[in-house]
Amino acid sequence: MPPSLPTRRWTLLLAGVGGLVTDTAFPDKSWWPMAYLGVALLLLALRRDSARWGFVVGFVWGLGFFLPHLWWANEAVGEPIGWIALSVAEAGAIGSFGALWVWVRRGSWVRGRPWLGVLAVAVVWVAVEQVRGRWPFGGFPWGALAYSQTDAPLLRLAPVGGTALVSAVVVVLAALLAHALADLRRLRIGAASAAFVVGAAVLLAPWAVPTGARAEAGTLRVGAVQGNVPEQGAAWDTQARAVAANHAAGTEALVAEVGDGRLDLVLWPESASDIDPRTDDGVAAVVDGAAAAAGVPILLGTQRFTGDVRYNDYILWQAGAGSDVAYTKQHPVPFGEYMPHRDFFRQFTSAVDLVGTDMLPGTGMALLPVPVERLARTVPVTTAICFEVAYDDLIRESVVAGGELIVIPTNNASFGRTQESTQQLAMSRFRAVEHGRAVVQVSTVGVSGIISPNGVVLHQSELFTAAQMAQELPLRTSLTLADRLGRWPTVAVAVLTVLMLGAGLLTTLRDRRGDRERRGSGSRAATTARTVRQPATSGSRGGGGVRR
């Protein structure tokens, strides 16, 4: 082992600490520079040339990151098995990154070119991040490095290349920092200084990227109602009716605060009325009364039951007319809203039966047409429900199709006072800048927030309180470069990773073949040398025979 490498025990400690440090870059702490340090520690721990050890190191880093980052999953399930299983699965993806990076850097075109390696490791990271955001069970993009940068200069890169570009630049900065730390350890001050200077330039350069926030298609006067939920303990239907009544009361309080005729649209969250007002007359009367008091349409979340399955709908309700427009959630949460392979997983825990009725995905685009009387037109509103805020394609497709405002209705009641809701708000901020759209995240219990198209939080509520917010928001129609590029950055990253992996494997095979040939040549040379040194045998001209 080269003397510059720490022992395996210290390597694992380095990786575990790196994961813990990276989590502090995300809400609630939001110490965004820690993402660079945390990933740099991972890269320093991955210096051994063993793909198997690379997997172990990446896995340990993943546990250090995801166990605290996904703590809210324990709160939601009520027992640790779901939290641990999810964290282990996501850590496995980081383990795959560790193994892939070891193989890729063996390539002859990367080996010996540290500055090229800085770019290559960023490409590999993003490829793994994109895969875990899509597979298995539709993927789980939570914890993408890009979402840690909503207070950093790198946020300005979101409209250029979305999460792929921002995550890649985070890894570039981490790799530069890793090089600088390694050079400082060897007292190579010049090389370390160069890495620091380049890193500072990369970090500050995004300030030159403009972000648009002005209205392009008028403005929309939006009210958002966080109704809060009653104390646990009542029957499901009693609680559901109480939640709907809370949001109706919040709407009346909002109208009293801003005045009549001062709103164009009122937003309620996901699960604002888990009893469907389209089929229940009592709840319909409550919602209709609130819409009449506001004098404008209401968007609200409800559940639609069909046979032994259910759907998560976000519907448009107009006073006296009810609802005939809805968006159905496309990405139900596996193990939270539906239970895949229920019989298999029941062997490990009875918690699978906490999901009594499986939720099925919708197929329609996340876009709702909202009639706005003041503007004398219909405004297309992008609507991504709860965890769907983490999925790149879903929101982008809706914005490209015409969405002028983004609404993220969510229900955070199951996650207690954990950091889940603020993590979600950070993603909403990222989407605002990525697509150049105002965003409203509205929750049953908080955190709710209204965000300008350049990522500034204009209003933010507290957890487990009733709150109302109102803001005149710009409607925008222009598309960012990230919108226009669509999936091409992801495709490019995937292709590059496959090519780099192939080059690394070919170099590995060639090197091993060369080693075998050198060993074979050495063996033949040694055999020849031994033969030349053999003493003369009896009967030879130079000797006197063998003594007996």
Maximum alpha-carbon separation in the chain: 125
In sequence order, what are the beta bridge partners of 225? 468
pLDDT at 443 over 50: yes
Q: State CA 66 to chain mean position distance.
A: 12
Instruction: Quote the CA–CA distance of 60 and 80 in Å, as a whole number.
Output: 19
Phi and psi at 227, nearest 5°, equal -85, -20
> What is the three-class DSSP state of 299?
strand
Phi and psi at 100, nearest 5°, equal -60, -40
Mean pLDDT on 150-163: 98
Query: Which one of 90, 386, 404, 420 is the catalytic residue?
Result: 386
Q: Which has the minimum average pLDDT: 86-100, 200-214, 342-356?
A: 342-356
- Are the C-beta atoms of 101 and 111 separated by less than 8 Å? no
Q: Is 75 exposed, middle or buried (0-12, 13-18, 19+ CB in 10 A)?
A: middle
pLDDT at 532 over 60: no
**CATH of the domain spanning 219-474:** 3.60.110.10
Predicted local distance difference test score (pLDDT) of residue 518: 75
Q: In the structure, what pLDDT confidence band is assigned to residue 43 with cuts at 50, 70 and 90? A: very high
Q: Per-residue pLDDT tens for 237-252?
A: 899 999 999 999 999 9
- 380 Cβ contact partners less than 8 Å away, ≥ 6 residues apart: 367, 368, 369, 370, 401, 402, 403, 404
pLDDT at 540 over 50: no
Predicted local distance difference test score (pLDDT) of residue 79: 86
Predicted local distance difference test score (pLDDT) of residue 232: 64
CA-nearest of 147, 154, 193 to 173 is: 154
Instruction: Quote the CA–CA distance of 426 and 29 in Å, as a whole number.
Output: 12
pLDDT at 112 over 50: yes
Q: Per-residue pLDDT tens for 176-204?
A: 999 999 999 999 999 999 999 999 999 99
Sheet holding 309-318, edge to edge: 322-328, 309-318, 298-306, 265-267, 219-226, 467-474
Phi and psi at 172, nearest 5°, equal -60, -45
Predicted local distance difference test score (pLDDT) of residue 38: 98
pLDDT at 228 over 60: yes
Query: Which one of 129, 270, 388, 434 is the catalytic residue?
Result: 270
- Helices 114-132 and 158-185: crossing angle in degrees, nearest 10, is 130
Is residue 29 annotated as a catalytic residue, yes or no? no
Predicted local distance difference test score (pLDDT) of residue 547: 35
Q: What percent of the chain has pLDDT over 90?
A: 83
Q: What rounded mean pLDDT belongs to the chain?
A: 92
pTM of the model: 0.93
Q: Which has the minimum average pLDDT: 94-103, 369-378, 390-399, 528-537?
A: 528-537
Mean pLDDT on 422-427: 98
pLDDT at 155 over 60: yes
Q: Per-residue pLDDT tens for 15-34?
A: 999 999 999 999 999 999 99
- Are the C-beta atoms of 437 and 382 separated by less than 8 Å? yes
User: Hey, what are 165's tokens?
Assistant: 């570009």
Q: Which residue has the higher pLDDT, 458 or 532?
A: 458
Sheet holding 449-451, edge to edge: 367-372, 377-383, 405-410, 439-443, 449-451, 457-460
Q: In the structure, what pLDDT confidence band is assigned to residue 102 with cuts at 50, 70 and 90? A: very high
Q: Which has the minimum average pLDDT: 88-92, 178-182, 441-445, 542-546?
A: 542-546
pLDDT at 433 over 60: yes
Locate the domains of the chain by residue range.
8-211+489-503, 219-474
Predicted local distance difference test score (pLDDT) of residue 473: 98
pLDDT at 536 over 50: no
Mean pLDDT on 40-56: 96
- Are the C-beta atoms of 46 and 14 separated by less than 8 Å? no
Query: Which one of 90, 129, 329, 388 is the catalytic residue?
Result: 329
Q: In the structure, what pLDDT confidence band is assigned to residue 531 with cuts at 50, 70 and 90? A: low
